[in-house]
Protein backbone atom coordinates (compact mmCIF):
# COMPACT_ATOMS: atom_id res chain seq x y z
CA UNK A 1 0.00 0.00 0.00
CA UNK A 2 1.54 3.24 -1.14
CA UNK A 3 0.98 5.17 2.07
CA UNK A 4 2.84 2.57 4.09
CA UNK A 5 6.60 2.88 4.25
CA UNK A 6 7.18 -0.39 6.05
CA UNK A 7 5.85 -2.28 9.00
CA UNK A 8 5.23 0.70 11.22
CA UNK A 9 5.47 3.96 9.32
CA UNK A 10 2.81 5.71 7.27
CA UNK A 11 3.44 8.71 5.03
CA UNK A 12 0.57 11.17 4.89
CA UNK A 13 -0.33 12.23 1.37
CA UNK A 14 -1.94 15.48 2.45
CA UNK A 15 -0.18 16.25 5.72
CA UNK A 16 -2.67 17.64 8.26
CA UNK A 17 -1.97 21.04 9.78
CA UNK A 18 -1.53 21.71 13.48
CA UNK A 19 -3.66 24.82 13.46
CA UNK A 20 -3.82 25.56 17.17
CA UNK A 21 -2.50 24.29 20.46
CA UNK A 22 -2.48 25.10 24.14
CA UNK A 23 -0.75 23.97 27.32
CA UNK A 24 -2.06 24.52 30.83
CA UNK A 25 0.20 23.49 33.70
CA UNK A 26 0.53 23.52 37.47
CA UNK A 27 2.61 25.79 39.68
CA UNK A 28 5.73 23.62 39.75
CA UNK A 29 5.79 23.26 35.95
CA UNK A 30 5.22 27.00 35.74
CA UNK A 31 8.40 27.54 37.76
CA UNK A 32 10.48 25.30 35.52
CA UNK A 33 12.69 26.08 32.52
CA UNK A 34 9.78 26.06 30.03
CA UNK A 35 7.59 28.47 32.00
CA UNK A 36 7.43 31.12 29.31
CA UNK A 37 5.78 28.88 26.73
CA UNK A 38 2.73 27.72 28.62
CA UNK A 39 -0.63 29.35 27.98
CA UNK A 40 -1.76 29.20 31.58
CA UNK A 41 -0.10 28.40 34.89
CA UNK A 42 -2.28 27.45 37.84
CA UNK A 43 -1.57 28.58 41.36
CA UNK A 44 -4.11 26.21 42.91
CA UNK A 45 -3.55 22.46 42.59
CA UNK A 46 -7.33 21.98 42.90
CA UNK A 47 -8.02 24.42 40.02
CA UNK A 48 -11.09 25.53 42.01
CA UNK A 49 -12.52 21.99 42.11
CA UNK A 50 -13.35 19.68 45.00
CA UNK A 51 -10.91 16.90 44.14
CA UNK A 52 -7.65 16.42 42.25
CA UNK A 53 -9.40 14.12 39.78
CA UNK A 54 -11.85 16.91 38.97
CA UNK A 55 -8.96 19.37 38.75
CA UNK A 56 -7.20 17.08 36.27
CA UNK A 57 -10.35 16.90 34.20
CA UNK A 58 -10.62 20.67 34.22
CA UNK A 59 -6.99 20.95 33.09
CA UNK A 60 -7.83 18.93 29.99
CA UNK A 61 -10.98 20.95 29.33
CA UNK A 62 -9.12 24.22 29.74
CA UNK A 63 -6.35 23.25 27.32
CA UNK A 64 -9.03 22.05 24.89
CA UNK A 65 -10.93 25.34 25.10
CA UNK A 66 -7.79 27.42 24.64
CA UNK A 67 -6.60 25.32 21.68
CA UNK A 68 -9.99 25.66 19.98
CA UNK A 69 -9.84 29.42 20.54
CA UNK A 70 -6.32 29.73 19.17
CA UNK A 71 -7.23 27.64 16.12
CA UNK A 72 -10.33 29.75 15.56
CA UNK A 73 -12.37 26.57 15.68
CA UNK A 74 -15.50 26.37 17.80
CA UNK A 75 -15.86 22.88 19.35
CA UNK A 76 -19.09 22.45 17.39
CA UNK A 77 -17.02 22.37 14.20
CA UNK A 78 -14.70 19.60 15.36
CA UNK A 79 -15.32 16.22 13.80
CA UNK A 80 -13.61 14.19 16.53
CA UNK A 81 -11.93 14.41 19.90
CA UNK A 82 -9.21 11.85 20.64
CA UNK A 83 -8.40 11.76 24.32
CA UNK A 84 -7.17 9.59 27.16
CA UNK A 85 -5.35 9.81 30.47
CA UNK A 86 -3.78 7.87 33.32
CA UNK A 87 -6.67 7.74 35.76
CA UNK A 88 -8.51 4.46 36.10
CA UNK A 89 -11.04 4.17 33.28
CA UNK A 90 -9.68 7.43 31.80
CA UNK A 91 -12.19 9.53 33.74
CA UNK A 92 -10.40 12.83 33.45
CA UNK A 93 -10.82 12.71 29.66
CA UNK A 94 -14.40 11.49 29.66
CA UNK A 95 -15.55 14.02 32.24
CA UNK A 96 -13.60 16.82 30.55
CA UNK A 97 -15.38 16.17 27.26
CA UNK A 98 -18.77 15.25 28.73
CA UNK A 99 -20.45 18.41 27.53
CA UNK A 100 -18.49 18.86 24.30
CA UNK A 101 -21.07 17.16 22.02
CA UNK A 102 -18.18 16.16 19.74
CA UNK A 103 -17.80 12.55 18.48
CA UNK A 104 -15.31 11.05 20.89
CA UNK A 105 -12.70 8.28 20.63
CA UNK A 106 -11.23 7.30 23.99
CA UNK A 107 -7.60 6.23 23.88
CA UNK A 108 -5.29 4.51 26.30
CA UNK A 109 -1.64 4.95 25.52
CA UNK A 110 -0.44 5.91 29.01
CA UNK A 111 2.08 8.77 28.67
CA UNK A 112 2.24 8.25 24.88
CA UNK A 113 -1.37 9.37 24.48
CA UNK A 114 -0.62 12.70 22.78
CA UNK A 115 1.41 10.98 20.07
CA UNK A 116 -1.22 8.25 19.73
CA UNK A 117 -3.93 10.89 19.32
CA UNK A 118 -1.87 12.83 16.77
CA UNK A 119 -1.16 9.61 14.85
CA UNK A 120 -4.76 8.42 14.64
CA UNK A 121 -5.99 11.97 14.12
CA UNK A 122 -3.57 12.61 11.26
CA UNK A 123 -4.73 9.43 9.52
CA UNK A 124 -8.42 10.28 10.03
CA UNK A 125 -7.88 13.67 8.39
CA UNK A 126 -5.60 12.44 5.60
CA UNK A 127 -8.09 9.64 4.89
CA UNK A 128 -10.85 12.19 4.35
CA UNK A 129 -12.88 11.25 7.44
CA UNK A 130 -12.48 14.54 9.29
CA UNK A 131 -11.85 18.18 8.53
CA UNK A 132 -10.76 19.22 12.01
CA UNK A 133 -10.24 17.33 15.24
CA UNK A 134 -8.59 17.67 18.62
CA UNK A 135 -6.00 15.47 20.34
CA UNK A 136 -5.88 16.21 24.05
CA UNK A 137 -4.47 14.65 27.20
CA UNK A 138 -3.16 15.54 30.62
CA UNK A 139 -2.16 14.35 34.05
CA UNK A 140 -2.02 15.59 37.64
CA UNK A 141 0.71 14.86 40.18
CA UNK A 142 -1.67 14.49 43.10
CA UNK A 143 -4.25 12.22 41.45
CA UNK A 144 -1.49 10.06 39.97
CA UNK A 145 0.36 9.74 43.27
CA UNK A 146 -2.63 8.51 45.18
CA UNK A 147 -3.72 6.15 42.44
CA UNK A 148 -0.34 4.66 41.58
CA UNK A 149 1.70 5.06 44.73
CA UNK A 150 0.82 6.39 48.17
CA UNK A 151 -1.49 9.01 49.65
CA UNK A 152 0.43 12.29 49.54
CA UNK A 153 0.06 12.61 53.32
CA UNK A 154 2.14 9.46 53.76
CA UNK A 155 5.18 11.27 52.43
CA UNK A 156 6.78 8.22 50.83
CA UNK A 157 10.44 8.61 49.90
CA UNK A 158 11.05 8.51 46.17
CA UNK A 159 14.06 6.63 44.79
CA UNK A 160 16.43 8.52 42.47
CA UNK A 161 15.05 6.69 39.42
CA UNK A 162 11.46 7.82 40.11
CA UNK A 163 9.84 10.49 37.98
CA UNK A 164 7.49 13.29 38.89
CA UNK A 165 4.04 13.22 37.26
CA UNK A 166 3.46 16.49 35.45
CA UNK A 167 0.43 18.51 36.45
CA UNK A 168 -0.55 19.76 33.06
CA UNK A 169 -2.48 19.20 29.90
CA UNK A 170 -1.95 19.85 26.23
CA UNK A 171 -4.37 20.04 23.34
CA UNK A 172 -3.70 20.26 19.61
CA UNK A 173 -6.16 21.01 16.82
CA UNK A 174 -5.41 19.12 13.62
CA UNK A 175 -6.95 20.36 10.40
CA UNK A 176 -7.12 19.40 6.76
CA UNK A 177 -6.56 22.99 5.67
CA UNK A 178 -4.87 26.04 7.07
CA UNK A 179 -1.44 27.30 8.05
CA UNK A 180 0.98 25.86 10.54
CA UNK A 181 3.33 22.95 11.04
CA UNK A 182 2.17 19.68 9.49
CA UNK A 183 2.28 16.01 10.41
CA UNK A 184 3.99 14.24 7.52
CA UNK A 185 4.62 10.74 8.88
CA UNK A 186 3.52 8.61 11.79
CA UNK A 187 5.37 5.59 13.16
CA UNK A 188 3.18 3.45 15.39
CA UNK A 189 4.55 1.76 18.47
CA UNK A 190 4.86 -1.95 19.07
CA UNK A 191 4.56 -3.11 22.67
CA UNK A 192 8.11 -3.69 23.90
CA UNK A 193 8.97 -5.40 27.16
CA UNK A 194 12.58 -5.61 28.24
CA UNK A 195 11.71 -7.32 31.52
CA UNK A 196 12.08 -4.29 33.81
CA UNK A 197 9.74 -4.75 36.77
CA UNK A 198 10.49 -1.74 38.96
CA UNK A 199 7.56 0.72 38.83
CA UNK A 200 9.95 3.34 40.20
CA UNK A 201 12.06 3.05 37.10
CA UNK A 202 9.69 3.76 34.23
CA UNK A 203 12.44 5.38 32.18
CA UNK A 204 14.35 2.11 31.95
CA UNK A 205 11.14 0.27 31.08
CA UNK A 206 10.19 2.69 28.30
CA UNK A 207 13.63 3.32 26.76
CA UNK A 208 13.60 0.03 24.77
CA UNK A 209 10.21 1.00 23.28
CA UNK A 210 11.57 4.40 22.25
CA UNK A 211 14.62 2.69 20.80
CA UNK A 212 12.44 0.27 18.81
CA UNK A 213 10.26 3.07 17.40
CA UNK A 214 13.11 5.43 16.54
CA UNK A 215 15.17 2.74 14.81
CA UNK A 216 12.09 1.50 12.91
CA UNK A 217 11.30 5.07 11.89
CA UNK A 218 14.82 5.70 10.64
CA UNK A 219 15.00 2.37 8.80
CA UNK A 220 11.61 2.74 7.13
CA UNK A 221 12.04 6.37 6.10
CA UNK A 222 15.74 6.13 5.23
CA UNK A 223 16.36 9.03 7.60
CA UNK A 224 18.57 9.61 10.58
CA UNK A 225 19.24 12.27 13.19
CA UNK A 226 20.84 14.39 10.46
CA UNK A 227 17.40 14.76 8.85
CA UNK A 228 15.82 16.27 11.97
CA UNK A 229 16.42 19.49 13.81
CA UNK A 230 15.35 17.81 17.02
CA UNK A 231 14.06 14.43 18.22
CA UNK A 232 11.92 14.49 21.35
CA UNK A 233 11.08 11.41 23.37
CA UNK A 234 8.07 11.54 25.65
CA UNK A 235 9.03 11.14 29.25
CA UNK A 236 11.98 8.85 29.73
CA UNK A 237 13.51 11.11 32.33
CA UNK A 238 17.26 11.46 32.77
CA UNK A 239 17.86 7.79 33.44
CA UNK A 240 15.76 6.52 30.55
CA UNK A 241 17.24 9.17 28.28
CA UNK A 242 20.75 7.92 29.05
CA UNK A 243 19.72 4.33 28.37
CA UNK A 244 18.14 5.30 25.04
CA UNK A 245 21.18 7.30 24.07
CA UNK A 246 23.54 4.39 24.69
CA UNK A 247 21.23 1.96 22.86
CA UNK A 248 21.21 4.29 19.85
CA UNK A 249 24.96 4.87 19.99
CA UNK A 250 25.51 1.13 20.08
CA UNK A 251 23.57 1.02 16.80
CA UNK A 252 25.92 3.61 15.37
CA UNK A 253 23.61 6.62 15.55
CA UNK A 254 25.13 9.99 16.32
CA UNK A 255 22.42 11.49 18.53
CA UNK A 256 24.45 14.62 19.26
CA UNK A 257 22.47 17.32 21.02
CA UNK A 258 19.39 16.61 18.93
CA UNK A 259 17.97 13.88 21.13
CA UNK A 260 15.96 15.48 23.92
CA UNK A 261 13.38 14.22 26.36
CA UNK A 262 10.25 16.07 27.45
CA UNK A 263 10.63 14.68 30.98
CA UNK A 264 14.14 16.14 31.22
CA UNK A 265 13.20 19.49 29.71
CA UNK A 266 10.17 20.38 31.80
CA UNK A 267 11.86 20.64 35.21
CA UNK A 268 15.16 21.87 36.56
CA UNK A 269 16.30 18.63 38.14
CA UNK A 270 18.95 20.41 40.21
CA UNK A 271 16.54 22.63 42.08
CA UNK A 272 13.05 21.21 41.67
CA UNK A 273 13.45 17.84 43.46
CA UNK A 274 11.93 15.73 40.71
CA UNK A 275 14.58 13.00 40.76
CA UNK A 276 14.81 11.54 37.24
CA UNK A 277 12.45 14.11 35.67
CA UNK A 278 8.85 14.50 34.56
CA UNK A 279 6.34 11.91 33.41
CA UNK A 280 2.61 11.51 32.86
CA UNK A 281 0.37 12.08 29.85
CA UNK A 282 0.61 15.81 30.49
CA UNK A 283 4.40 15.79 30.19
CA UNK A 284 4.88 15.30 26.45
CA UNK A 285 1.52 16.98 25.75
CA UNK A 286 2.39 20.21 27.55
CA UNK A 287 5.99 20.25 26.27
CA UNK A 288 4.68 19.79 22.72
CA UNK A 289 2.11 22.57 23.02
CA UNK A 290 4.12 24.86 25.29
CA UNK A 291 7.63 24.45 23.95
CA UNK A 292 8.10 22.46 20.73
CA UNK A 293 5.31 23.95 18.61
CA UNK A 294 5.93 27.55 19.72
CA UNK A 295 9.62 27.10 18.80
CA UNK A 296 8.65 25.70 15.41
CA UNK A 297 6.37 28.66 14.90
CA UNK A 298 9.37 30.92 15.49
CA UNK A 299 11.38 28.91 12.98
CA UNK A 300 13.89 27.63 15.56
CA UNK A 301 13.22 24.04 14.45
CA UNK A 302 11.83 23.13 11.05
CA UNK A 303 11.51 19.39 11.22
CA UNK A 304 10.96 17.54 14.46
CA UNK A 305 10.33 13.93 15.44
CA UNK A 306 7.94 13.75 18.38
CA UNK A 307 8.10 10.31 20.01
CA UNK A 308 6.01 10.06 23.16
CA UNK A 309 6.50 7.03 25.37
CA UNK A 310 4.12 5.12 27.63
CA UNK A 311 4.39 2.38 30.25
CA UNK A 312 1.43 0.01 29.83
CA UNK A 313 1.33 -1.29 33.40
CA UNK A 314 -0.89 -0.86 36.44
CA UNK A 315 -0.37 -1.23 40.20
CA UNK A 316 -2.13 -4.60 39.90
CA UNK A 317 0.18 -5.87 37.17
CA UNK A 318 3.17 -4.74 39.23
CA UNK A 319 1.84 -6.47 42.36
CA UNK A 320 1.35 -9.64 40.33
CA UNK A 321 5.03 -9.60 39.43
CA UNK A 322 4.60 -8.63 35.79
CA UNK A 323 7.30 -6.69 34.04
CA UNK A 324 6.49 -3.33 32.45
CA UNK A 325 5.61 -3.21 28.76
CA UNK A 326 6.42 0.07 27.06
CA UNK A 327 5.21 1.70 23.88
CA UNK A 328 6.35 4.68 21.84
CA UNK A 329 4.34 6.39 19.11
CA UNK A 330 6.09 8.89 16.87
CA UNK A 331 4.98 11.65 14.52
CA UNK A 332 7.05 13.83 12.20
CA UNK A 333 6.11 17.50 12.50
CA UNK A 334 7.40 19.79 9.80
CA UNK A 335 7.07 23.45 9.01
CA UNK A 336 5.64 24.21 5.62
CA UNK A 337 8.33 24.84 3.05
Binding site for a second copy (CB under 8 A): 1-4, 7-8, 10, 50-51, 53-54, 79-80, 84, 86-91, 94-95, 97-110, 116, 119-120, 123-124, 126-131, 147, 176, 188-191, 193, 312-317, 320, 322, 325, 327
175 close to 78: Cβ distance less than 8 angstroms:
no
- Whichever of 88 and 246 has its CB closer to a second copy, that residue is 88
- Whichever of 28 and 54 has its CB closer to a second copy, that residue is 54
CA atoms of 284 and 233, how far apart (whole Å): 8
Consecutive H or E run containing 10: strand 9-11
CA atoms of 146 and 29, how far apart (whole Å): 19
Contacts of 187 (CB under 8 A, 6+ apart): 8, 9, 10, 213, 216, 217, 220, 307, 329, 330, 331
In degrees rounded to 5, what are phi and psi of residue 334?
-140, 135
- Whichever of 43 and 99 has its CB closer to a second copy, that residue is 99
CB of 158 to a second copy, least distance (A): 20
- Whichever of 191 and 300 has its CB closer to a second copy, that residue is 191
CB of 116 to a second copy, least distance (A): 6
CB of 258 to a second copy, least distance (A): 25
Distance (Å) of CA 198 to CA 313, 318, 320, 334? 11, 8, 12, 36
- Whichever of 2 and 36 has its CB closer to a second copy, that residue is 2
Alpha carbon 185 to its chain's center = 16
CB of 198 to a second copy, least distance (A): 17
- Whichever of 105 and 255 has its CB closer to a second copy, that residue is 105
Task: Give the DSSP letter of residue 88.
Answer: G
CB of 124 to a second copy, least distance (A): 6
CB of 1 to a second copy, least distance (A): 6
Amino acid sequence: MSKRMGRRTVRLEHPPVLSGWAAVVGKKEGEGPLKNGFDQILEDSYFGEQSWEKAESRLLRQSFTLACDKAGCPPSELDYILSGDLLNQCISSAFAMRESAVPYFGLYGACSTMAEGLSLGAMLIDGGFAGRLCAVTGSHFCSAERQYRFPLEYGGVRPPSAQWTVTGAGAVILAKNGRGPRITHVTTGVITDAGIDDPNNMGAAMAPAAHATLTAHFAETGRSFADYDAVFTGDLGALGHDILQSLLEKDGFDTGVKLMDCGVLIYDRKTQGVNSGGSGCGCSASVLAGHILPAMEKGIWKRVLFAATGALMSPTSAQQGQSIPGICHAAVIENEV
